[in-house]
A and B are shown apart, each in its own frame.
Chain A
Amino acid sequence: MSEIVNYDLTGTDSISEAVKTLLNSCPFLDEGETVSFASLQETGGIAFYPTGGAVVLNERRSITDHISQECLYNFAIVNRSYGQNERRKMTAKEFTDSLGKWLERQSVSVGGALYKLESYPDLTGGREIRSISRQSSATLDATTEDQSELWVINMRLTYRNEYDEQL
């Protein structure tokens, strides 16, 4: 019998919005550069793609019908860049890795400057981000016909969702 999976459907939208805002607040993005949601321009750019929606990992009910859920939101960051020489490949990979490391709230050195994400953004409706972690280092996922390269890093975001089933 297949396992039943519960989804936090409202949370998916809230998390996606928060992740987009968070990624676009990254201090070492190039000026004018933005991270989009599930949409990459053919000329290049950075986007993130949720992979599966917000899933409820476990749920506890208190004696007062207060519900506490531990939830998971997996997403991939895709960095499209051009050029096949080794130096540009390393730059794209290092940038993508640095972005993932920054999301983990680790100190990141980019261009000689140190950056650290101090806190995660607030979420709506009793949700709170607990952690964001890399599931892989940046890897070359594909090379397109026009010689652009897609560097991908998989991220795992866990958050808590709490609400009262009855007041």
Chain B
Amino acid sequence: MRLERSALIHYLNTTPASVSASWYKIGKDVEDMSVDLAASVEKAKNILDETSVRHTGYEASASVNTYYADPDDAFYSFIEGIALGRKKGDDCKTEVLEVVVKDTEDSSHVAYKEDAIIEVQSYGGPQGGVSIPYTIHFSGNRVEGTVTFDSSKKPTFAPA
């Protein structure tokens, strides 16, 4: 049976400097979000008309086009620091957690954790809220594992 879109969940660690991660669930006001893999693929044809393909990796990113600033949000202070504090480099570094919930009855779910850099696109926007769209750049150190959820639906990642 086809998975609902809500079966693929992305989280960002809002406390990257801490020992334990605080995972913020992305997507409250987002109707559409995809991870663009931007695969590096090189093709070459030899004199025998044979085509060889070299797949050398990915430069994955995901654009979150709708985020409305909410000081009650765990993610707000992190992104405010980047946008208004003009933070750069390692100050924009955190972790992204991807979880696939194939069956809500399962006790654990497939998950991947990876380092990420947050790039804020802009802030402000039209009336109705303070819009801060941003891009998540996956920056390596990808770890496969599983996630379990507690009673308040907070995820805990365990590497495989």
Chain B residue at smallest Cβ distance from A66: B28
Interface range on chain A: under 10, 10 to 19, 20 to 34, or 35 or more? 10 to 19
Is the CB of A64 closer than 8 A to any CB of chain B?
yes
Number of interface residues of B (CB under 8 A): 15
Q: Note all chain B residues with C-beta closer than 8 A to A167.
A: 153
Interface of B is mostly: loop
A64:B6 contact, CB within 8 angstroms: yes
A62:B25 contact, CB within 8 angstroms: no
A64:B153 contact, CB within 8 angstroms: no
State how many angstroms separate the Cβ of B2 from the closest Cβ of chain A. 15
A60:B153 contact, CB within 8 angstroms: no
User: Of B30-38, B47-55, B130-138, which binds chain A?
Assistant: B30-38
A64:B27 contact, CB within 8 angstroms: yes
A64:B31 contact, CB within 8 angstroms: no
A81 to B30, CA, bound (A): 51
Interface residues of A (CB under 8 A from B): 60-66, 68, 166-167
Interface residues of B (CB under 8 A from A): 4-6, 8-9, 25-33, 153
Task: With A62-B28, A64-B9 given, name 6 new contacts (CB 8 A).
Answer: A62-B30, A63-B8, A63-B32, A64-B25, A65-B6, A66-B27
